[in-house]
Amino acid sequence: MKKNRIIGIILILIVFAMALFIDVKGFMSSGKPLETLTSLEKAITPRFGLDLHGGVRFVLEATDTSEVKVTSEAMDTAVSVIKRRVNNLGISEAIVVQERGANWKRVDVELPGWKDPERARQLIGQTALLQFKTEDGKVVLTGADLASANLAFSKETATLGQPVIEFKLNSAGAKIFADVTQANIGKKIAIYLDNKLLINPVVNNAIPNGEGVIEGGFTQQEAADYAALLRSGSLPVKLDFISEEVVGPSLGARSIRMALIAVITAIILIFIYMIVFYRLLGLFSVLSLTIYLTIEIALLFLLHATLSLPAIGGAILSLGMSVDINVIVFERMKEELKLGKSIKSVISAGFTHAFRTVFDSNLTVLVGAALLFYLGTGVIKGFAVTTTIGILVGFFSGIVVSRVILNLFLSQSTSNKPWLFGI
């Protein structure tokens, strides 16, 4: 039996060591530029929300037009397009969610670390409808026929080195383009983006490969942004910006300091409480909670949970739930100890009789967190995620880790010293 306990503590120490490595490595890599991170560091680097990292938050609302009515399918497509555009901005921590209920036509967009709200507005809210039109105004191709679009630099003598957009059509679009250019040799085919004329060249010969270049006197940034818009696709509905909030990095830095102070203060107070009221059991509880915190942080990093102030609040709440498990178990153990039972029986009875209460209380919180995740948006989802992870890890820590530690280190001789248990 003792051999099984030793194996158990060894496995716990291995998990603890791995989690500690992830925590340290993750915190060390959080201050490095993204392009310098190794694949391991990218996998465990913590992601901070808007309130901690600074950035921009937008709320957009879809509106009906004479051409297009807002539907649930159109909103799903719009959210997907915005997510692709945000990814093209290179912001991996960005949040794009559709609101629910009466505000189902609204989309919340958060861009942590983004410093140019005007450019973000242009990239996120622009319809980006690409159209190829013949001289008679007929639309022969749209952005839906594109396979790719990228920033490039002109190789033509007259415009050498100027930023342009290289595009490639998909197989169906390439065939249409070949037929249209063949039929319009000597005529013009204009290219429009959101009804703005970009280029109106004369077709000198048929273009069978579906590849071409869009020139428009772009700057390098404009060409890169237009290419990103075209790759992402056009929005199916009109979106209006109804709210904009800019969070400065100084506010984010202050939020981080306050969050750290709150977390450290909460942990210290909990540790002091457990040691004062439960003496030796409290010391073992501190050890168990330390393992719990290490594993929880590692999981948050590995799962790329976005750490915002509400998310940190959820983590603190789950820490309190984990402590609650220890309190319930220890109180039961003290009752059994007063009856003069052996330390082995005391430990067994404490965990056995407290399990149902602990399970029910944690399940109740998990159900609430699941509802918040399903019905909530943005930071509410972050709160639900960190709370859920904390509850699950806390349950494992309070029921499994604490029991292994107590069975290994509590000897029968301690039962003759009730003051060690806070009795």
Is the pLDDT reported for residue 423 higher than 80?
Answer: no
Domain co-membership, 40 together with 139: no
Condensed to tens digits (0 to 9), the pLDDT of residues 79-97 reads 888 888 887 766 656 788 8
pTM higher than 0.85, yes or no?
no
What is the arithmetic mean of pLDDT over 113-124? Answer: 80
Domain co-membership, 127 together with 259: no
Cβ(80)–Cβ(141) under 8 Å? no
According to the model, what pLDDT value does residue 93 have? Answer: 62
Domain co-membership, 303 together with 225: no
Condensed to tens digits (0 to 9), the pLDDT of residues 131-166 reads 899 998 899 988 888 888 888 998 877 778 888 889
Condensed to tens digits (0 to 9), the pLDDT of residues 192-220 reads 888 888 888 888 888 888 888 888 778 88
Domain boundary among 192, 225, 246: 246
Domain co-membership, 233 together with 142: yes
pLDDT band at 176 (very low <50, low <70, confident <90, very high): very high
pLDDT band at 50 (very low <50, low <70, confident <90, very high): confident
Mean pLDDT (the chain) is 84
The CATH number for 124's domain is 3.30.1360.200
Query: What is the percent of the chain where pLDDT is above 90?
Result: 14
Terminal CA-CA length for the chain: 29
Is the pLDDT reported for residue 18 higher than 90?
Answer: yes
Tell me the residue range of the domain where 337 lies: 2-46+248-421
Domain co-membership, 226 together with 126: yes
DSSP states along 357-407: HHHHHHHHHHHHHHHHHHH--THHHHHHHHHHHHHHHHHHIIIIIHHHHHH
pLDDT band at 367 (very low <50, low <70, confident <90, very high): very high
Domain co-membership, 113 together with 208: yes
Cβ(347)–Cβ(5) under 8 Å? no
According to the model, what pLDDT value does residue 133 have? Answer: 92
Domain co-membership, 36 together with 69: no
Cα(173)–Cα(181) distance, integer angstroms: 12
Cα(126)–Cα(225) distance, integer angstroms: 11
Is the pLDDT reported for residue 21 higher than 90?
Answer: yes
Distances (CA, A) of 128 to 80, 124, 166: 14, 10, 16
According to the model, what pLDDT value does residue 251 have? Answer: 58
Domain count, the chain: 2
Domain co-membership, 70 together with 23: no
Bigger pLDDT: 308 or 367? Answer: 367
Domain co-membership, 59 together with 129: yes
Domain boundary among 246, 262, 277: 246
pLDDT band at 282 (very low <50, low <70, confident <90, very high): confident
According to the model, what pLDDT value does residue 257 have? Answer: 80
For residue 72, give every residue at least 6 positions away whose Cβ sits within 8 Å of its Cβ, in sequence order, or none.
104
Domain co-membership, 260 together with 388: yes
Burial of 202 (0-12, 13-18, 19+ CB in 10 A): exposed
According to the model, what pLDDT value does residue 91 have? Answer: 62
Domain boundary among 221, 246, 271: 246
| Residue 31: Cβ within 10 Å count | 7
DSSP states along 407-418: HHH--GGGGG-G
pLDDT band at 183 (very low <50, low <70, confident <90, very high): very high
What is the arithmetic mean of pLDDT over 56-78? Answer: 86
Burial of 57 (0-12, 13-18, 19+ CB in 10 A): buried
Per-residue DSSP letter, 30: T
* The one-letter amino acid at 380: I
Cα(106)–Cα(62) distance, integer angstroms: 6
Cα(5)–Cα(326) distance, integer angstroms: 19
Most confident of 4-13, 35-44, 357-366: 357-366
Domain co-membership, 254 together with 273: yes
Query: What is the percent of the chain where pLDDT is above 70?
Result: 94
Bigger pLDDT: 410 or 34? Answer: 410
Domain co-membership, 324 together with 220: no
What is the arithmetic mean of pLDDT over 15-22? Answer: 92
